[in-house]
């Protein structure tokens, strides 16, 4: 029992540090409701009607590294349709006055990398509990993000 408690505390500390590092997005950080136009883009992208009961929150991010956070990272508010340490995260790219989903994955945190492919930053998603961990890495192919690496571990 003590070992499980210590492992849980270690993971909570690690996840907290992941959430509040620079160039990160975390499902538990303080996020703001997204504009209706962004929520509608996500609802148009997702085919499962289960998402219609959710509200969405997120924050602006800078995918192309130009110093302007005009793109968005979005998740659901109040853990809607989330699992244990894992929630849907959408990455939306701003083009002109509209947005499009360029990546949809799940995780606890999302890291916006320094390295770029086709003009946009590489992205990775991470999640873990005492029983498993996962990391997905993505690069931009010019239109959408493509998964280049997936690591899953059961402990």
The answer to whether 26 and 20 have CB atoms below 8 angstroms apart is yes
Contacts of 143 (CB under 8 A, 6+ apart): 102
What is the rounded CA–CA span in Å between residue 101 and residue 56?
Answer: 14
Domain enclosing residue 119, as ranges: 2-154
For 28-47, what is the mean pLDDT? 96
Among 130, 132, 137, 127, which Cα is nearest to 106's? 127
pLDDT digits (tens, 9 = 90+) for 39-71: 999 999 999 999 999 999 999 999 999 999 999
pLDDT digits (tens, 9 = 90+) for 97-115: 999 999 999 999 999 999 9
* Total count of domains within the chain: 1
């Amino acid at each position: 029992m003590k070992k499980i408690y210590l492992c849980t505390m270690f993971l909570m500390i690690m996840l907290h540090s992941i959430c509040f590092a620079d160039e990160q997005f975390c499902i538990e950080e303080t996020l703001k409701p997204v504009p209706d136009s962004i929520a509608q883009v996500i609802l148009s992208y997702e085919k499962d009607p289960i998402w219609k009961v959710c509200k969405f929150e997120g924050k602006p991010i800078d995918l192309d590294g130009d110093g302007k956070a005009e793109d968005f990272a979005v998740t659901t508010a109040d853990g809607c349709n989330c699992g244990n340490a894992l929630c849907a995260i959408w990455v939306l790219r701003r083009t002109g006055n509209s947005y499009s989903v360029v990546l949809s994955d799940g995780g606890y945190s999302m890291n916006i990398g320094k390295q770029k492919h086709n003009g946009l930053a590489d992205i990775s998603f991470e999640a873990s509990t005492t029983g498993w961990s996962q990391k997905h890495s993505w690069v931009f192919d010019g239109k959408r993000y493509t998964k280049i690496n997936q690591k899953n571990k059961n402990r």
